[in-house]
């Protein structure tokens, strides 16, 4: 009997069984499905998902590389603590979006932004070429259009911030785009609800104007103020929930 062709559960994994199983298990780990129970054994995974041992082992190996799973002799495979997860991995970041964000997670995300984006704005003011400056302006214009109901407010906000990272012309800053995008998606979704508005266009405009004026000090301070406003909203939310 071919267990992979017989199982109806297998159909939910898509055409690539290994990546399908990785997606299913990775999401389950990150959203907390195994927070109060042990991770399944290899035999249990094979039986539950109707896949071969080779598929199961490869999916588990991939999740181990993302810092989600560990293994020890006689203990078997287990879920690693969240501190060990590779938060720069695009899949892990995406799965994080699917769980209810905690105040602490929001704070940590935006503390990272505070450490990265003000300096990125300063570098963009110094180094951006005409095309990159135009992309930043376009991001701001999209935010204005979103305020009129003509664009998506989250996508527009993301476009603005990612354009600034790219305008640093520093590949290390550009590599932060997935992390910053995730931080924005999580925090904007929550803080906009708290503030009762979308992101402040005026605050973003100050950042844009400083970059266009090639004033790195002003660009850095403006971006710091923008993110500090988000941190204040997060603390306010913590006080309400506390």
Q: Which residue has the tokens 């799973």?
A: 69
pLDDT at 1: 38
User: Residue 54 has which token pair?
Assistant: 């080779």
Dihedral angle sign, alpha carbons of residues 126, 130, 132, 137: positive
Alpha helix (H) residue ranges in the chain: 3-6, 17-30, 42-49, 53-65, 90-97, 103-127, 130-147, 153-166, 171-174, 177-195, 201-212, 216-241
Residue 38 has, within 13 A of its CA and on its CB side, a CA count of 9
Which residue segments constitute the domains of the chain, with CATH numbers given? 3-84 (1.10.10.10), 100-241 (1.20.120.530)
pLDDT at 141: 98
CA pair distance 46, 40, nearest whole angstrom = 10
CA quadruple 212, 216, 217, 221: dihedral, nearest 10: 70
User: What is the chain's alpha carbon radius of gyration, rounded to the nearest angstrom?
Assistant: 21
Q: Give the pLDDT confidence score for residue 2 in this predicted structure.
A: 42
Question: Residue 22 to residues 63, 89, 181: CA-CA distances in angstroms?
Answer: 7, 13, 23
- Looking at residue 4, what is its pLDDT? 44
Per residue of the chain (242 residues), give pLDDT as tens. Answer: 344 444 545 556 767 899 999 999 999 999 999 999 999 999 999 999 999 999 999 999 999 999 999 999 888 999 999 999 998 888 998 888 777 666 777 788 888 889 999 999 999 999 999 999 999 999 999 999 998 999 998 899 999 999 999 999 999 999 888 877 877 777 776 666 666 555 689 999 999 999 999 999 999 999 999 999 888 888 877 665 65
Backbone angles phi, psi at 78, to 5 degrees: -145, 160
Quote the CA–CA distance of 98 and 183 in Å, as a whole number. Answer: 13
- Which residues lie below 8 Å from residue 111, measured CB to CB, with a gap of 6+? 231
Q: What is the pLDDT of residue 22?
A: 96
- C-alpha to C-alpha distance for 207 and 192, rounded to whole angstroms: 19
Q: What is the pLDDT of residue 5?
A: 44
């Amino acid at each position: 009997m071919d267990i992979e062709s017989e199982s109806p559960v297998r159909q939910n994994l898509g055409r690539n069984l290994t990546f399908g199983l990785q997606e299913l298990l990775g999401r389950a780990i990150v959203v907390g499905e195994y927070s109060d129970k042990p991770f399944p054994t290899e035999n249990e995974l094979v039986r539950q998902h109707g896949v071969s041992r080779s598929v199961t082992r490869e999916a588990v190996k991939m999740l181990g590389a993302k810092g989600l799973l560990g293994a020890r002799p006689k203990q078997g495979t287990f879920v690693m603590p969240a501190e060990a997860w590779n938060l720069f991995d695009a899949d892990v970041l995406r799965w994080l979006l699917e769980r209810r964000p905690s105040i602490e997670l929001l704070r940590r995300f935006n503390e990272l932004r505070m450490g990265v984006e003000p300096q990125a704005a300063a570098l963009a003011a110094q180094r951006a070429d005409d095309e990159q400056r135009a992309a930043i302006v376009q991001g701001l214009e999209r935010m204005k259009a979103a305020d009129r109901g003509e664009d998506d407010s989250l996508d527009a906000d993301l476009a603005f911030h990612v354009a600034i990272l790219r305008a640093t012309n520093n590949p290390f800053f550009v590599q932060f785009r997935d992390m910053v995008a995730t931080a924005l998606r999580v925090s904007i979704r929550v803080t906009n609800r708290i503030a009762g508005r979308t992101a402040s266009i005026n605050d973003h405009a100050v950042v844009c104007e400083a970059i266009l004026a090639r004033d790195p000090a002003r660009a850095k301070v403006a971006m710091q103020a923008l993110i500090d406003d988000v941190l204040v909203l997060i603390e306010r939310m913590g006080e309400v929930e506390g």
